[in-house]
Structure 1
């Protein structure tokens, strides 16, 4: 009896997922197009949160794949992918990039190369969000004005482990690997493995 119920459950679940995936892709297409994102072919489980401010620019290359929430890659800390591009800022995502529950916040410029794999729950920021001066943070005007932004660049074939955070001014060289739950505060050369909080060099590839 249990075997029959299990088979029936899996069959119904498969049909529901097929219908849902079609709806998710349509909603994602509307969200991207409505935010003036330039994008090519993509696949999605769930749909992202996207906000591109006036004067901002977001470009996503072909064969882009994303998982949003628990759908597609249920490894914990689920959320929709977030793409936020501030006024005058630019976000460029290359071809054949895959990500799950990723938050990318561009206040200046973030560039992600081709064939990059970004693990679940990764956050990429090119800004401090707030001034580092305590007195300035008391007033919203000076807080925003004195925040520091520096571009982020992630090279081709990079693999960023789940739940890692990439901070402003970081450049990660091609083929390098960032271990899970790392906090990357400084640039990393090509063909190396780094991990930790803050990240430390482990070995060359």
Structure 2
């Protein structure tokens, strides 16, 4: 247990140092435990709120004992994460904008991707390898917004252009291709309405 605590403190320190060097704004008491990797373009806006916890790999989470967390933020994009959020073995890929509110919990191996990652046209896809600035490629993208107090289960995929309303729940293994209103439970592939939540 002492070794695990030391390891978590060490990886948090290393990641905070790296984030500071590239100008990322990080709130107090943020922790990055285990295998957490960042690929963040300096010409982007990235804000991590206070109390954020991101974990990855090294048997930290039983649902993803060997999966790292990976955050990719491209040039001229934004990633804003609110206060007191918790993610494990998450993959976030930002081509446009991803905004996550306060008190959001996202389960292991969930993917947030605000773009198609590749061109629809096959001729344009052939040119991707030669392109040095992906912002010039014709790749469909649209912002993702996750509002306060949302709970997303493990192994979900959140697609481009999605808004998940406050306090809603996404069941494990869901593929979200349609926006979800506040105070609802959705699940499945594609995710569909299951029930309304009562406060």
Give the TM-score normalised by the residue count of structure 1: 0.87
Q: Which blocks of at least 5 consecutive residues in structure 2 are unaligned?
A: none
RMSD over aligned Cα atoms: 1.6
Q: Which of 114, 122, 136 is the matching residue for 1:126?
A: 114
Whichever of the two has the greater Rg, that structure is 1
- How big is each residue's C-alpha offset from its partner over 1:11-39, in whole Å with a ceiling of 9 and x where there is no partner? xxx22123222211211212221232100
Give the TM-score normalised by the residue count of structure 2: 0.90
Q: Is residue 27 from structure 1 mapped to residue 20 from structure 2 by the alignment?
A: no
Q: Distance in 1 between matches of 2:182 and 2:162?
A: 13
Over 3 Å counting, the alpha-carbon distance change for 1:17 and 1:187 in structure 2 is: same
Q: Which residue of 2 aligns with 1:96?
A: 84
Q: Which blocks of at least 5 consecutive residues in structure 1 are unaligned?
A: 1-13
Q: Which of 97, 101, 104 is the matching residue for 1:113?
A: 101
Q: Which residue of 2 aligns with 1:50?
A: 38
- How big is each residue's C-alpha offset from its partner over 1:70-107, in whole Å with a ceiling of 9 and x where there is no partner? 44312137322111111000000000000000011111
Runs of 4+ in 1 over 6 A off after TM superposition: none
Please say if residues 114 and 141 of structure 2, whose CA atoms lie closer than 8 Å, have aligned partners that are also in contact.
yes
Shift of 1:172: 0.3
Q: Which residue of 1 aligns with 2:145?
A: 153
- After superposing the two structures, state which structure 1 stretch, 85-94 or 49-58, moved more: 49-58
The number of equivalent residue pairs is: 191
